[in-house]
């Protein structure tokens, strides 16, 4: 999910996507620990997805507090 798609989401959709992305990261870390994860780049992708979601969320909070 790129940043343009994230900016197109509503606040509630961002919250839901953030919960899902964190759950996905937890599952990837669990799979890594149990040696079931074969594609290690998925961890990096999940972390970046979380960062994108949190960035847009913070931008909106700053914009809301200034208005």
Please give the Cα distance from 39 to 49 (Å, whole number): 16
CATH fold for domain 3-66: Helix Hairpins (1.10.287)
Q: Collect all residues with Cβ–Cβ distance below 8 Å to 11 and sequence separation of at least 6.
A: 57, 60
Residue ranges covered by each domain of the chain? 3-66
**pLDDT tens readout for residues 10-52:** 999 999 999 999 999 999 999 999 999 999 999 999 999 999 9
Letter string b/e over residues 25-59, b meaning 16 or more CB atoms within 10 A of that residue's CB = beebeeeeeeeeeeeeebbeebeebbebbeebbee
pTM for this model (two decimals):
0.91
Confidence of residue 67 (pLDDT cuts 50, 70, 90): low
């Amino acid at each position: 999910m790129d940043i343009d798609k994230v900016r197109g989401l509503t606040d509630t959709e961002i919250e839901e996507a953030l919960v899902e992305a964190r759950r996905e990261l937890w599952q990837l870390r669990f799979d890594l620990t149990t040696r079931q994860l074969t594609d290690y780049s998925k961890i990096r992708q999940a972390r970046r997805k979380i960062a994108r979601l949190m960035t847009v969320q913070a931008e909106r909070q700053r914009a809301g507090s200034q208005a």
